[in-house]
Structures are given as C-alpha cells and as structure tokens.
Structure 1
Amino acid sequence: MEKGLVVITGASSGFGKEMARVFHDAGHPLLLIARRTELIEALNLDNVMIRKVDVTDADAFQSSVNEAVAQFGPVDLLINNAGVMLLGNIWNQDPQEWQTMINVNVSGVLNGTRSVIESMIERESGTIINISSIAGFKTFTNHAVYSATKYGVHALSETLRQEISGSNVRVLVLSPGAAETELLSHTSNQKIKDDYVVWKDTMGGYSMDPRHVANAALMMFSLPQEVSIRELVIAPTKQDN
C-alpha cells in the first residue's frame, strides 16, 4: 500500500531530524520544513521535498504544502514540531524573546494547521501531531513564557480536536520531557544554562534520546484512523518533575 505524505516542521535538528529519519524509513514521502535546510540535505534522504520556510510566514508555509501535495498527493500527517525555548524571568527578559516564542510556538502551529486542515476535513482523513512539552501542563521556574506558549498548544489542540473529530480527523499532542536537543542553546541566560546542566546531572548527565520521541510519533500515527492517542507524555525515567 502506498504511504501518504508526511509534513514535518523544524526538521533540521532534534526531534524533527529524528522524525524525518523514522518516517522516511517507514516509507513515507516527506515535506521537510526548516530554516537550515543544509542540515536536512546532509541526511541524504530520498523521496523528500525540502523547503526553507519560517513557520511564522503563513503564505510561505501554504505554498510549500501546495507544492508537496502536487508532487506526492494529500497530506496524511502534519507534525507541528518547530519550536524555540528562550528561558528567562519576566522581569528581566527581553520582550522580543517572548514574542519570538509566541510567534514560533503558537502562530507556527496555527499556520501549519491551517495549511492542511480543510483538505483533511473534506477527505475525512488525516492526522495532526502537535509537539508540546511537559511544560505545557506543569510549570517550572524560568519557563513562564515558554510554558504559556506550550499551554496554548494544548488548548488549541483540544479545541480543534473537539471541532473536527466528527470528520474523522485526528489531533494529537506529544509532550516530551528533557531531551538531548538544541532547545536549551536558544536561551541567552548563561546561568539558566549552567543550572540545567547541574539538574541534568541528577539523571546521570544525559536526558532522553530524541529518537524515542520520533518513534512515539510514528506509533501514534500508525494506529488505525478511528483511534486517537489524544496525548502522550514521554520523559526520562529519572526525571522527577
């Protein structure tokens, strides 16, 4: 059976890069979206369209999806994975960092969803997996704005699920805990970075391989269309919060 098109944002590193590998190995044609496309090209995947798109640019997002659909057919799965984590305290963090997180983590998810949702409803088939975070349902110090954006991802996902579940379209949330990705490197506060390293030592100095998150996404998608894992939380066993 021919596999359907999978769209993955933030596909150049971390969870997105591993998802690109996992879904490619599962036989799906891919539209891989990122700003650093050279890192995707280095993966040497076939049956793939790679596009340099900022997920905050709705028109560019839609254009890339339309192009991929013309080549590969309808989108079976959209993974809204692109995100930034700029940790800090509200009273001394640059407000531009707040806006960057809101734009990418929330507006990017909305732009991606809008680019595929009408077709999925019309076909009465399709899946959207929104990558959130443990910080999307519990709070951590230095995470106020980041958590606010991820709480937002949970809220918009659940609302959308209620609105379109009757059309047999799945809206799923995958919430990782601490993982070995580039997310922390986005943070400009060096003390927060240093404190994270100290905290990670409580887990043996290593958190979670992003490959496990990619495999979890494949598992959620691979279930029959009439079955939804509405939310899955995955974290290191030694992570105690």
Structure 2
Amino acid sequence: MTKPLIVITGASSGIGAETARLFAAEGHPLLLLARRLELLEELGLPDALCRKVDVTDRDAVAAAVREAQERHGPADAIVNNAGAMLLGRVADQPVDEWDRMIDLNIKGVLYGIRAVLPGMLARGAGTVINISSVAGRKTFPNHTAYVATKFAVHALSENLREEVAASGVRVVTIAPGAVETELLSHTSDERIKSDYRAWKESAGGALAPRAVAEAVAYAYRQPPEVTIREIVLAATGQES
C-alpha cells in the first residue's frame, strides 16, 4: 500500500532531518520545509518535495502544503519542528530575539497546524506532532522568553487535542531535553552559550537527534484509536 504524506518543518538539520530520513525509509512521501533549501535537497530522500519556506509566512506554508497534497494526496501527519532557542536574561536580551521566538516557536506551529487541520477534520483522521521541550514543562536559568514559547506549545497542543479528539485527529507533544543540534549557536550571548555547553557536558552529553525522531515515529505508528499525548525524553545524565 502507498504510504500517506507527512509534512516536516525545520527539516534541514537536526531533529527534522533525522525525522525525514526515518519516515522516508518507511516509504512515506514527504513535504520538507526549511529556509535552507540546499540542505533539504542534500538529504537526497525519495518522494520528498523540498521547499524553501519560513514557517512564519503562513501563506507560504499553506501554499506548500497544497502543492504537496496535489502531488501525494492528503497529509496524514505534520511534524512541527521548526524553532529557535535564543537564550538570554529578560533585563538585557535583545527584544527582537523575543519576537523571533514568538513568531517561529508559536505562530509557526499554529500556521503549520492550520495548513493541514481542516483536511484532517474532514477526513476524521490525522496526526499533529509538535516538537516542544522540557523547557515547556519547567524553567531554566537564562531561558525566560524561550520557556514562555515552549510552555505555549504545550498549552496549545493540549487544548487543540481537546478540540479535535472527538473528530479522530491526534495531537502529540514531544518534549526533549538537550539535543545535539544547531539551536544553541543562534544565541547571541557568548557567556550564556559557554555556560550551557558546560552544563551539557556535566550531564554527559545531550540526546542524538535520531532519538527524538524515533520518539516521533513511535507516537505516529500507534493505531488510530491511540494517542500518545506527550513524550518527555532526555539524556540519562540530565538531572533537570
């Protein structure tokens, strides 16, 4: 049988790229979205429609989803993975960093959901998987604005699940601890970056992106009548 379409945002590296590789290996056609088109194409995955899309552009997200669905049929799942982690103290962090995280981590997730959800509701099936963080469940030093956006992802995911549960649509929150990705490199405060690296090393390292991708796939593979509402995972040595 032909596998259904899966949409993955932020698919050019890290968790998104590993999730794309995993689902491609299982025979799913993919819509891969990211700002770095060349990295998407370098993945070289079969039946993967790669589009340069910033998920803060809701019209571009919707257009890419329409194009993919015309080619591969309805989207059975979306993995809202695109996000930014810009650490800083509220008293002196550049405010435009807050704006970037709010636009990407919250609005970008909502735009991805809106692009696929009406079709899922009409069909009575589908899975929305939102990549949040343990920072959506507890606080950390120098994470205030980032934590705010990830608490929002947890809240909107649970509220959405309540809205759509009776329609047969599943909503899953994946909450990883520290992961070996590019996220930290975008933080502008060098001291905070250094402290974060030291904290990560003290925990014996971070999760491999593949571990998070496997959690995504596990939740998706469940029978339609089963929803894994939330998966929280972290490196064994990470205490907080």
Give TM class, smaller chain.
over 0.9
* Other-structure match for 2:42: 42
Match of residue 237 from structure 1? 236
CA displacement 1:66-123 (0-9 Å, x = unmatched): 0000000000010000000000001001100000000000000010000010100000
SS in 1 for 2:65: helix
Whether 2:128 is the aligned partner of 1:131: answer: no
Q: TM-score, normalised by structure 2?
A: 0.99
C-alpha displacement of 1:201: 2.0
Q: Secondary structure at the match of 1:114?
A: helix
Q: Percent identity?
A: 55
Q: How far off its partner does 1:207 sit?
A: 1.1
Q: What does residue 201 of structure 2 align with?
A: 201
Residue number in structure 2 paired with 1:227: 226
Task: Give yes or no for the alignment of 1:152 onto 2:152.
Answer: yes
Distance 1:24 1:177 in 2: 25
SS at 2:150 equivalent = helix
Structure 1 outlier segments of 4+, above 2 Å: none
Pairwise mapping of residues 27-66 of structure 1 onto structure 2 (< 5 A)? 27-66=27-66
d(CA) in 2 for partners of 1:187 and 1:3?
Answer: 39
Mapping for residues 1-241 of structure 1, pairs under 5 Å: 1-204=1-204, 206-241=205-240
SS of equivalent to 2:50? strand
State the distance in 2 between where 1:40 and 1:118 align: 27
Counterpart of 1:53 in structure 2: which amino acid? V
Q: Deviations over 1:200-219 (max 9, x none)?
A: 22123x21111010011011
- Unaligned stretches of 5+ in structure 1? none
1:124-161 deviations in Å (ceiling 9; x for gaps): 00000000000001000100000000000011111111
Task: Tell me the distance in 2 between the aligned counterparts of 1:230 and 1:221.
Answer: 11
Instruction: State the TM-score, normalized to the length of structure 1.
Output: 0.99
Distance in 1 separating the partners of 2:86 and 2:201: 21
Aligned with 1:83: secondary structure?
Answer: coil
Please give the root-mean-square deviation of Cα atoms over the aligned residues, in Å.
Answer: 0.6
Q: Which amino acid aligns with 1:58?
A: R
Question: In the aligned structure 1, how far is the partner of 2:36 from the partner of 2:122?
Answer: 33
Deviation of 1:187 after TM superposition, in Å, equals: 0.3
Tell me the secondary structure at the aligned position of residue 139 of structure 1: coil
Aligned-pair distance for 1:44? 1.0
Partner AA of 1:146 in structure 2: Y
- CA–CA distance in structure 1, aligned partners of residues 200 and 141 of structure 2: 15
The offset of 1:30, in angstroms, is: 0.1
Letter in 1 for 2:138: K
The total of aligned residue pairs comes to 240
CA–CA distance in 2 between the matches of 1:58 and 1:199?
36
CA distance in 1, matches of 2:178, 2:121: 34
